[in-house]
Amino acid sequence: MASPQMRMRSEAQQPAERERKAGLRLLGAERSEEIFPLLLEEIISLGHRAGFVARVDFETSAITPVASLNCTRGFLQKQHTTLFAMENPMVRILHTLKPEVIPDKPKPGANSLYVHPLVYRNRNNCWEAERANASTCLAVANFHCKQRLNLPDQICATCDMRAYAAVVCVELKPAAKASDISQLGALIELANRYLSRIFKVEHYYNRMTDMETTIGQMRTVLESMADPVILTDGQHRVITQNKAAERFFKLPDEVSEGRVRAVELNNLLFSAALSSMAVAGVDSSRDMTLVDAIEGEEVLFEAVSAPSFGADGRRTGMVTVMRDVTELRRADEELRQNYELLTAAEEVVRQDRDRLNLIIENVGDPIVVCDKDAKIVLVDPLAQELFGEERSERRAVHMRNQAKLDAYIAAFTYSFSDRESAPLHLFSPGTEAEVEYDARSGKIYDERGMVAYTVTVLRDLSAVRRLEQLKMERRMLEMEKFAVAGRMAGTIAHEVNNPMEAIKNCIFLLQDSIQEQAQPVYQILKTETERVARIVRQMLGLYRNTEQVGNVDINTVVEDTLMLFARQLDRSGVRVEKELDDLPPVVGSADQIRQILSNLVVNAKDSMAQGGRLRIRTRIAKSGLRDMIAITIGDSGCGIPPSMVNTMFEPFVTTKGERGTGLGLWIVKGIIENHGGKLKVRSKVDHGTVFRMEFPLVQ
Amino acid sequence: MSASKPHILVVDDEPNVLVTYRLILQQQGYEVSAAISSEEARNCLQKGGVDLLLCDLSLEKQQSGFDVIHFGRSLEPKLQAVLLTGYASAEANDRAEHESIPVLFKPIDIQQLLQTIADLLRKNNESRQAHGT
């Protein structure tokens, strides 16, 4: 744009016009690379001979010519240098940022070289620094830089732009004046200003391209994620979402009503979840069930949301990543169920074990478990008392017990029997007294049928032995009592006998001289006296027979007794059946056994007033471990009434009224017990009674 | 010695028993002598003419019926005797059986006693007749 004053000064007008044209040409450059060739053209058009531009590569610190005009290849080759070659005037000038003409005093005929450094610089802040209110802008810093340029720091702290640095070298036209040089300098500075602008634009373009690349990459990442990812703004509106998210939150092209509803429902759920999570402010997660709009299935998601922030630190929205946890939850559930099953099974096992422990504890007997080599693997506390503990100090008594137990268990383990029961004499750790144990053992086999373990329970027999002793003592006492009673009965009977004899004789003598009216009284006198006589006879019999012990043949005694009563039995209509096995002798008194049999045969006969059957059987029988001789006397008589079962063996208890003494069974029982035997009765009213006697055999 | 009435000597240390036996036997028509002790019995036996001796086993002062019977038999070897007892040991029983002396246990059944006496006297008679002829 020309002003009237400029036109009038035609002398000065021409250079100004030229400058303006040069400026416009430079302004027309679109790209930074275009600036240097244009600049060199303008420089040559000013009449200078040649020129080149060398640019600094900050990566390698190399300084390389990038554009030249009228320069020979050889000359340019020589201009390659580095930032560190300070002896090179071009490098030195680049560091000082002051344009110079070299050499200072040109020799005649030689051409002077004008060197002008170019860096990214400007009088004012760039717009970005202006807008961000940044205090530093590399352009301004470089502009004001009077000192040496710190070339490696050419990166702007505000806009992150890497600046450029270059030198323009011009071979001046001969006899160049100072005005020529300043004109040249102004042109280069103008070019630099345009360059810095283009450079800046190119920087933004590069940044934008980078960003697009990054965005594209992010997009790819986002889309390649199988989990739905959603970016929302401050109002929970969806800004962007990946395909996985669209499946749930975006209406598909072909809409069906069901899908619309599913998507609406999902959106509703999602925005409710977001609202609640947004309150938390930091990362938060929650489970939510969404409906797959395509498949129509319910999918359980775990949504993790994190707030997103802008460059200024303000919250801009939220990023939500949702993870399909349907399978996970199902696996969780399965795991939980398995765990519960396992816990239950474990509980059963534990209960079993507790129960077993309880049983073992409550057996109250020492228990020892050994392995196949007869080594102890388990003992209960009671057994521990007997055999000592492995760790603690063991006393001699423990060792002795252990030795005895080892011998027994080893014998059992290697024997062929499954179970074993044997007496084991151990020593009480407390009193060191010998204690008799009943050791009972069993074997536990493994699946191959080999002995895996043996279990031994030790039963303390001292209590049993004590009880047996007590029983024995009581029996002895009973026998003694019976003997005393017998002796006493005998003595009394003996004393009564003689007066009785006299009374009886008197009654006999009087029988013919009793008057008619006195006869009933006389009869009473007679029967009662006879009764007393019978009692005395019984008592005497008992006394009379307490001696004479020897080997007795039971069958002979039975035959004798039956012979003795044969007539009476026959008269009463009683049929006798004998079944007498061959018997070894018993130790006892034949007289007493005869008395027993007599008493029982008489009782049987008396019970069968209308006749009947009397069975006598003798044989060898087993009672526990010992052989016994058993005699059974059975009748088909009236039986014993239940009310008498408990008292029938007591003295003076009778069913025969005045005919009986009530001593018979008492004597029978006493005699049998004196012989170490047993008496059993089985009776049923109106069917009969069976007495069974057992006598121990003579070994 | 009367031929019609057999002569029985009863020996017992109990007076009442002795008396009642005497009365019963007299009632049955026997001639009866009674002795309260072994000494009396011996005196009586020495007089002779006793057909049957009924003797209690246990007499006074360690004397037993066997002693009296032995004494009687030393005078008259074929003297029939019956031993009466309230209590007989097995030895006594065996001994009586060995010496063929019947034993009757007190309290004695009178009918049985009379039967035994009758049997023995008849045996006595028979042997005497056999001997006499």
In terms of Cα–Cα distance, which of A344, A262, A272, A334 is closest to A303? A272
User: Is residue B64 assigned to a domain?
Assistant: yes
B133 is a domain residue: no
| CA gap A117, A79 in Å, rounded | 15
Q: Do B20 and A497 touch (CB under 8 A)?
A: no
Q: Has residue A358 been placed in a domain?
A: no
Residues A479 and A621 in one domain: no
CATH code of the domain containing A232: 3.30.450.20
Q: Give which of B74, B56, B52, B73 is closest to B65, Cα–Cα.
A: B56
Nearest to A103 by CA among A51, A168, A48, A172: A172
Asked if A286 and A303 touch (Cβ cutoff 8 Å), the reply is yes
Residue B131 lies in a domain: no
**A135: three-class secondary structure by DSSP:** coil
A105 and A194 part of one domain? yes
**What number is the average pLDDT over the span A195-211?**
89
CATH number at residue B42: 3.40.50.2300
Please check whether residue B17 touches A, CB under 8 A. yes
- Please give the pLDDT value at position A419: 87
pLDDT: which is higher, A119 or A134: A119
pLDDT surpassing 60 at residue B2: no
Do A39 and A69 touch, CB atoms closer than 8 A?
A: no
E-assigned strand segments in A510-560? 550-552
Q: Does residue B25 form part of some domain?
A: yes
Q: Going edge to edge, which strands form the sheet with A688-696? A: A574-580, A612-623, A626-635, A688-696, A678-684
Nearest CA to CA, how far is B21 from chain A (Å)? 7
Which of A177, A207, A237 marks a domain boundary?
A207
A616 and A688, same domain (yes or no):
yes
Residue A603: CA count within 13 A, CB half-sphere = 26
pLDDT tens digits, one per residue of A374-410: 888 888 888 888 888 766 677 888 888 888 888 899 8
For chain A, give the percent of residues with pLDDT over 90.
8
Residue of chain A whose alpha carbon sits nearest to that of B13: A498
Q: What span, in angstroms and rounded, lies between the C-alpha atoms of A283 and A278?
A: 9
Instruction: Let me know whether A490 and A617 are in one domain.
Output: no
Record the tokens describing residue A445, joined without a space. Answer: 């086999």
pLDDT for the residue B25: 92
Q: What CA–CA distances, in Å, run from A93 to A34, A117, A166, A497? A: 24, 7, 11, 172
- pLDDT, residue A10, reads 46
Report the gap between the CA of B86 and the closest CA in chain A (Å): 6
* Token pair 């345009």: residue: A194
Q: What type of residue sits at position A83?
A: L
SS3 A149: coil
Task: Tell me what pLDDT residue B33 has.
Answer: 92
Bridge partners (DSSP) of residue A306 are A319
Q: Look at residue A107 in the predicted model and tell me its pLDDT.
A: 61
Residue in chain B closest to A490 (alpha carbons) equals: B87
Mean pLDDT of chain A: 83
Q: Which residues of B touch A494 (CB under 8 A)?
A: 86-87
CB A283 within 8 A of CB A305: yes
In the prediction, which pLDDT does A544 show? 54
Q: What is the mean pLDDT of residues A200-225?
A: 90
A536: chain B residues, CB-CB within 8 Å: 107
- Is A428 found in the same domain as A470? no
> What are B5-35's pLDDT values in tens digits?
889 999 998 888 899 999 999 988 999 999 9
Of the partner residues B17, B23, B87, the one whose CB lies closest to the CB of residue A540:
B87
Q: Give domain status of residue A213, yes or no.
A: no
Q: Which of B90, B43, B72, B30 is nearest to A544 (CA)?
A: B90
Distance CA A362, CA A351 (A): 16
Candidates A491, A496, A498: best to mutate against B (most CBs of B within 10 A) is: A498
Chains A–B, number of C-beta pairs less than 8 Å apart = 60
CB contact under 8 A, A543 and B110: no
Both A378 and A231 in a single domain? no
Minimum-distance CB partner of A536 among B17, B27, B107 = B107
Q: Is the pLDDT of residue B132 over 70?
A: no
φ and ψ of B109, to 5 deg: -75, 120
Contact between A629 and A617 under an 8 Å Cβ cutoff? The reply is no
Domain of A505, in residue numbers: 462-544
What span, in angstroms and rounded, lies between the C-alpha atoms of A99 and A117? 6
Is the residue at A338 inside a domain? no
- Is the pLDDT confidence value at A8 over 60? no
C-alpha span between A554 and A383 (Å, rounded):
51
Q: Which helix (H) or strand (E) holds A503?
A: helix A462-510
Closest CA to A377 of A434, A444, A312: A444
pTM for this structure?
0.39
Q: Do residues B88 and B80 touch, judged by C-beta distance below 8 A?
A: no
Contact check, Cβ <8 Å, B106/A497: yes
Q: Does the pLDDT at position A7 exceed 50?
A: no
pLDDT, mean of residues A46-75: 88
Which amino acid is it at A316? T
Of B27, B90, B107, the CB nearest to A509: B27
Closest Cα in chain B to A531: B107
Question: Which of the residues B12, B17, B104 would you substitute to probe the A interface, choosing the one with the greatest number of A C-beta atoms within 10 Å?
Answer: B17
Instruction: Please indicate, yes or no, if residue A105 is contained in any of the structural domains.
Output: yes
| Final residue before a domain boundary, out of A479, A512, A544 | A544
Domain range for B103: 7-126
Distance, CA of A230 to CA of A238 (rounded, Å): 7
How many beta carbons lie within 10 A of that of residue A580, not counting itself?
15
**Do A485 and A455 belong to one domain?**
no
| Residue A574: HSE in the Cβ half-sphere, 13 Å Cα cutoff | 27
Mean pLDDT of A602-619: 89
Residue A517 DSSP label:
G
Three-class DSSP labels, A578-644:
EEECCCCCEEECHHHHHHHHHHHHHHHHHHCCCCEEEEEEEEEEEECCEEEEEEEEEECCCCCCHHH
Secondary structure class of A83 (helix, strand, coil): coil
**Count of domains in chain A?**
5
Q: Total structural domains in chain B?
A: 1
B107–A500 CB contact, under 8 Å = yes
Least confident of A398-402, A485-489, A670-674: A485-489
SS (H, E, C) B19-69: HHHHHHHHHCCCEEEEECCHHHHHHHHHHCCCCEEEEECECCCCCEHHHHH
Asked whether residue A471 falls in the same domain as residue A392, the answer is no
Residues of B in contact with A511 (CB under 8 A): none
pLDDT at A6 over 60: no
Q: Does residue A44 sit in the same domain as residue A158? A: yes
Give the position of tokens 């008194």.
A589
Q: What is the CA radius of gyration of chain B?
A: 14
**For residue B2, is it within any domain?**
no
CA distance B36 to chain A (A): 14
Which CATH number belongs to the domain containing residue A200 in this structure?
A: 3.30.450.40
Alpha carbon distance A405, A399 (integer Å)? 10
**What is the pLDDT at residue B88?**
63
Between residues B98 and A295, which one has the greater pLDDT?
A: B98
Residues of B in contact with A544 (CB under 8 A): 87-89
Cα distance between residue A364 and residue A457, in whole Å: 10
B107–A494: do the CB atoms touch at under 8 Å?
no
Q: How far apart are CA A48 and CA A267, in angstroms?
A: 74
Residues of A with CB under 8 A from a CB of B: 490, 493-494, 497-502, 504-506, 508-509, 533, 536-537, 540, 543-544, 547-548, 591
B18 min Cα distance to partner chain A (Å): 8
A138, pLDDT greater than 90:
no
pLDDT at A531 over 90: no
Question: Is the same domain home to A169 and A49?
Answer: yes
User: Chain A residue with minimal CA distance to B89?
Assistant: A544
Interchain CB distance below 8 Å, B16 and A499: yes
In order of A340, A407, A445, the CA distances from A349 in angstroms are 14, 35, 21
What is the spatial distance between Cα B93 and Cα A596, in angstroms, rounded to a whole number?
Answer: 20
End position of a domain, from candidates A293, A324, A355: A324
Q: Is residue A469 part of a domain?
A: yes
Q: Which residues of B touch A533 (CB under 8 A)?
A: 107
| Predicted local distance difference test score (pLDDT) of residue A208 | 92
Nearest CA of chain A to the CA of B41: how many Å? 19
| Alpha carbons A263 and A295: distance in angstroms, whole number | 12
* pLDDT score of A149 more than 80: no
Give kind and range of the element (H or E) at residue A324: strand A315-324
One domain for residues A524 and A560: no
φ/ψ of A113, rounded to 5, equals -115, 125
Q: Is the pLDDT of residue A44 over 60?
A: yes
E strand segments, A344-450: 367-371, 376-379, 419-427, 434-445
**Chain-chain contact of A501 with B108 (C-beta, under 8 angstroms):** yes
**Cα distance between residue B26 and residue B47, in whole Å:** 20
Residue-wise pLDDT tens digits, B37-69? 888 898 998 988 888 999 988 887 777 888 899
User: Which of A245-259, A292-306, A307-321, B42-56 shows the lowest per-residue confidence on average (mean pLDDT)?
Assistant: A245-259
Read off the pLDDT of each residue in A63-84 and give the average, rounded to a whole number: 88
Position A1 scores a pLDDT of 46
Chain A residue with CA closest to B90: the answer is: A548
B67 located within any domain: yes
Mean pLDDT of the A187-195 span: 88
Alpha-carbon torsion, ordered B69, B70, B75, B76, to 10 deg: 60
53-92 in chain B: CB under 8 A from chain A? 86-90
Contact A370, A456 (CB under 8 A): yes
Q: Which of A490, A533, A591 sits opposite B87 (nearest CB)?
A: A490
pLDDT average, residue stretch A67-73 = 89
A160 and A275 fall within a common domain: no
Average pLDDT over residues A547-556: 78
Rounded alpha-carbon distances, angstroms, from residue A386 to A382, A436, A622, B2: 7, 13, 37, 96
Strand A62-69, strand A81-82: pairing: antiparallel
Higher pLDDT, A545 or A86: A86
Answer whether B110 sits within 8 Å of A505, measured CB to CB: yes
> Does B107 sit within 8 Å of A497, measured CB to CB?
yes
Q: Report which of B76, B68, B25 is spatially closest to residue B48, judged by C-alpha positions.
A: B76
Cα pseudo-dihedral B55, B57, B59, B65, rounded to 10:
60
